[in-house]
A and B are shown apart, each in its own frame.
Chain A
Amino acid sequence: MTYLDHAATTPLRPEVAAAMAQVHADPAGLGNPTGSHPPAQRARRLLEEARDEVAAFLGRDPGDIVFTSGGTESANLAVLGPAETARQDRGEAVLLYSAVEHPAVRESARAAAKAGLDTRELPVDASGIVDPDALARTLSSRATSVSIMTANNETGVVQPLRQLIETIRQRAPNAYVFTDAVQAAPYLDLADITAGADLVSLSAHKVGGPVGVGALAISSRVLLEPRQHGGGQERERRSGTQDVAGAVGFATALGLVMAERATAGPRVAARRDRLRDGLLHAIDGAYRTVPAATTDILPGHLHLCVPGVEREELLVALGEQDICVSGGSSCASGALQPSHVLAAMGVTPEMAAGALRFTLGYGTTDADIDRALQVVPAVVAALRRGG
């Protein structure tokens, strides 16, 4: 199998699986971290050690880190939590978000709009980068928060976050900046890049950790209403018994990412470039969805438009050859839906018809690339011939 869909989910790293198994295997037992007996204290220690690791990864104070069930919950809390506080305090909330945000952010903002709050979408250029002038124009002192992802899940394009945050600080010093760093986490130094943000979200399963665990970093200046009510865990920002083994797995994965960061990015990027060049050469008419001049793209991402084929058919045919790639996001039924990201970049539905996303991961090998280069052009040719 040739797995080139790491942006969707990454295989659980063996070290992570071992660390999680170890949590449960320990004869000392694992209690509820809020308790006082020894198994509870052990659970609490493991949880806080994991929190320290996540905090170190993001360059933040451990008290800023809230464990969640994943990137989507983190985004919901980041977008809707401060909005609710603003609504209660001031009777209004103004939420800005880029046009290429992940549905977790986009749909949270839409839910806020439905509830009567003011939401504004920030336009992007042909690469999907937020237009700084439009951002400046849209910002006002009324802005509650601005959501701009660190790097896009579909295209891998990295936002000039520092520069955009500067603009936000000038125009709306009280607005919170939230960045969804879920896709950027495997490669970028988030402690540096997201230093100016008030809220940063992560997901464990995009970095070789388990599905069902995520985190939201919340700066101390941020006031937010929790989305989940209950026992007041996570400093009353996210109630619910913490998933200790999941947090340990998450922290282990982030530790590996940090240790390997210097080498993983260049290695993956070199393979991605070979895949890109090979496919562009072998598939007549194929082109990069992101303009070639845009170079700040995550090392694992490759987004191509293949004219003359339909992506649903490409995915089926490639799947039958055990080549696992993605054609974009899916709706509730599992059907592919037109990409709002590509639409915001000005890619027409006709161009997007044969759009494919390849995402490599830390474990992607040269043999994977060889196989993809052999199979993908042949599958495209067969579909173009009509079967």
Chain B
Amino acid sequence: MRVLVAMSGGVDSSVAAALLVEQGHDVVGATLKLWGGPSDSGCCSVADVEDARRVAQQLGITHHVFNLTEEFDRNVVAPYVGEHALGRTPNPCIECNRTMKFDRLLHRADRLGFHRLATGHHARVTGADTASASDSGADLAPALSSWQLRRGADPLKDQSYVLSMLGQDALSRVVFPVGDMTKDEVRAHAHRLGLRTAGKPDSQDVCFISSVEGRQAFLSQRVELHPAEVVDGDGRPAGSVEAVELVTVGQRRGMGHGSDGKRRYVTHVDVAARRVTVGSATEVLRTSVLLAGPSLTWVDQPLTAGARAVAQVSAHGRPVPCTLVAAASVENDLIEVRFDEPQRPVAPGQTVALYDMLDPDAVVGAGIAA
């Protein structure tokens, strides 16, 4: 089948492309130019594009560069800045996957006649008609069977969390060729093929913020940052912060120690009042998180109130058993995820991925903390 593989210039997508070529598919590579500004990491720099192009040449496949900087700015960077201005903690990688890779690029792949879009994500897509899907893109019949999104084989590199918002439509058209491999296996394969990206370090952090510049400098050029007072649970002064917009609920760094000598954690951020509230490790624990109803997405069938699930609240967070509860208070546009055991709080804006209680590698859905 005809496959468009998104090549970031990293080792995972390089090997993804190589595997598809080895499997005999008609493969074309594409690198997205997403960020027009300075960058030293992630997916946007010229050096990364060159790596991707050279790997494509080594594999003997055509390679294109798609300039999506304007849309990336609109769909990912602007909301990232806007959310921070509200004191929320967005995940731009998830928004990029949602709006750019698995929407914009996926539709482009469709229009260009590709049956599948491949990426180098460590996750697995399985479905009853996986076998027949190799013929063409037209024979998909999700009415009879549904596609599953599952954790990647390497528990340390699993990226199902950042894909947890994908639904049947996207899953029916994507492939993650390295999802069955460990990172070591991926690198070994790249070495065997002599790909120049074999030893390249994993990308870290947010691709559009350079490590030299940092998050605070990046945001300070785009939004006004305000100092704030830090108070304890009783409203007593407990210090100050430079930028309330950069403080995250649950954060420990920079909050110092309480009168008992123990570490303090952010329990609440009030941007409007310029106030950060801190508490002890026990005080910061929460038994639940509210998810905004409109943000909820389901891999297939929605979970209903009372359903059991396993929640993961960050890219490599520990999965925790939970129960879904319809939030009684607000007019049904919030869902409460109640943890079996108290957890560090989930910052507003963070994504909560829900996995199947009985099959904990399978993603069920996702939502964004209100």
Contacts and interface: CB of A to CB of B under 8 A. Distances in A.
Contacts of A312: 64, 66-67, 108
Interface string A370-387: 000000000000110011
B113 A387 contact: yes
B49 A334 contact: yes
B348 to A, nearest CB: 34
Given A333-B33, A334-B53, A337-B67, A316 B46 contact: no
A333 B36 CA distance: 10
B367 to A, nearest CB: 30
Nearest to A312: B66
Interface in B49-92: 49-50, 53, 62, 64-67, 69
A28 interface: no
A270 interface: no
Interface in A326-356: 330-337
A316 to B, nearest CB: 6
Interface in B4-32: 28, 31
B30 to A, nearest CB: 8
Interface in B167-216: none
A317 B67 contact: no
Nearest to A315: B64
Interface string B221-263: 0000000000000000000000000000000000000000000
- Interface of B: prevailing SS: mixed
A126 B28 CA distance: 38
A18 B15 CA distance: 44
Interface in A291-322: 310, 312-313, 316-317, 319
B110 interface: yes
A313 B112 contact: yes
B295 to A, nearest CB: 28
Contacts of B49: 333-335
Contacts of B62: 319
Contact of B64 (A310, A316, A382): A316
A313 B65 contact: no
Given A333-B49, A334-B49, A316 B112 contact: yes
Given A386-B110, A387-B112, 14 more contacts: A312-B66, A313-B108, A313-B111, A316-B28, A331-B67, A334-B53, A334-B65, A335-B33, A335-B65, A335-B67, A336-B65, A337-B67, A382-B113, A387-B111
Interface in A167-214: none
A320 to B, nearest CB: 8
A336 B67 contact: yes
B46 A333 contact: yes
B366 to A, nearest CB: 27
Contact of B66 (A335, A383, A387): A335
Nearest to A330: B65
Contacts of A336: 65, 67
A333 B108 CA distance: 20
CB-CB nearest 10 A-B residue pairs: A335-B67, A335-B33, A333-B49, A387-B111, A335-B65, A334-B65, A332-B46, A333-B46, A387-B110, A387-B113
B67 A383 contact: no
Nearest to A384: B111
19 contacts: A312-B66, A312-B108, A313-B108, A313-B112, A316-B28, A317-B112, A317-B113, A319-B62, A330-B65, A331-B67, A333-B49, A333-B50, A334-B49, A334-B65, A335-B49, A382-B113, A383-B111, A386-B110, A387-B113
A336 B111 CA distance: 19
Contacts of B111: 313, 383, 386-387
A319 B63 CA distance: 11
Contacts of B28: 316
Most buried by B among A319, A335, A382: A335
Nearest to B33: A335
Nearest to A385: B111
Contacts of B67: 312, 331, 335-337
Contacts of B50: 333
Contacts of B112: 313, 316-317, 383, 387
B324 to A, nearest CB: 37
A61 B108 CA distance: 54
B2 to A, nearest CB: 10
A36 to B, nearest CB: 44
Contacts of A319: 62
Contacts of B33: 331, 333, 335
